[in-house]
Structure formats: structure tokens, C-alpha cells
Amino acid sequence: MFFLKELEKTIQLHPSYFGPLIRKHIHRELLLKEEGSSTGSYTIVTILDTFDISDGIVVPGSGAAEYTVHYKAIVWKPYKNEVVDGVVTSVVRTGFFVDVGSLKAFVSSSMIPSSITFDPNATPQHWTDNGDQTIEKGTNVRIKIKGLRHEVDQMFAICTMKEDYLGPLTA
């Protein structure tokens, strides 16, 4: 699910950037460091333009200045039972792996409808129902999150495809 969240970030700036364009530098630094990063429970999708930079404080001993930036960002936090779209990254005998943004998901064979079976002899290996549904590396799939776990900077999910309207996306 997507949220609008207020966040805070401390940015250190090298003295060589001190000058009339200092706000621009801070902005760039913020976008570079934060956008797309994952904290383990949510991913920062995009940073909104309005942000608030505190006064800079020179760090004793280094000459760099420290700014505290308050900003708003759209973040994505996956929830159990959320339906998500992702891209298949790898297909194995026991299931297939899906990347949903920063979330690494796995759909195991027990979570795949029984009509879709694994074909190890095909190149590349894929799951198929021998009809129009084929799941191989690069396929877009719609899946539902069954379990989630957060680690320091990454998230893992177990997903299912065994419900209505889930499966490979044609388009």
C-alpha cells in the first residue's frame, strides 16, 4: 500500500559545495540517497518537492556542514493479503522468484494452481499450463502476498497465485 509519509534525513555537505547553489546540492543529495531505498519495512518511491532544510551546522574537525532535511515522500509498504504485480526473475523446480519493486517474493509450487506445471526440459525452464499461461524469466505476474518478513534493508514475501484473477499478465 502507498502512503504519504513525513520523513527526516541528516545530510552532510562537503565545504566545496558551499555557495549560492547550496540548496540545489542538498536536494540532489537527498534524491540520490533516498529515492528507491528500502528501510526494511517500506520503500521510498518518490520524494515530493516541498521540503524544509534546517540551518547548517559545521561539524567540528571536518569542515563539512550538517543539514537536517524534513521532507514528504510517497512510500510503499507491503501488507499481507495485498495483491501486487511483479516481474519474474528466476524459475526453479520449487517455484519462481518475483521482484515487486524492492520486495523479493517467492511463489512456491504449492501456491501455483495445479494446472500449471513445471517443465524442466524447456529452454528456458518455465511453468506452463500448456495453454496461454506460461511463466518464465521476465513474465509479469499478479500475485497475492501470503507472508512477509522484514530484515534490515530488505523485505521477503511469500506469495500465492492460487486465487481468482491472479497469474501471468498478458500485455
Where do contacts with other proteins occur on this chain (CB under 8 A)? 80, 90-95, 97, 104, 106, 108, 110-111, 120-121, 123-125, 137, 146-149, 151, 154, 156-158
151 or 163: whose CB is closer to other proteins?
A: 151
Q: Are 39 and 150 in contact (CB under 8 A)?
A: no
18 or 97: whose CB is closer to other proteins?
A: 97
Residue 36 C-beta: closest distance to other proteins, Å: 15
Residue 125 C-beta: closest distance to other proteins, Å: 6
Q: What's the chain's Rg over C-alpha atoms?
A: 22
23 or 80: whose CB is closer to other proteins?
A: 80
Cis preceding-peptide flag for 124 (omega within 30 of 0): yes
Give phi and psi for 137, each to the nearest 5. -60, 125
Q: Dihedral of CA 47/140/114/121: which sign?
A: negative
Residue 5 C-beta: closest distance to other proteins, Å: 24
Q: Are 66 and 9 in contact (CB under 8 A)?
A: no
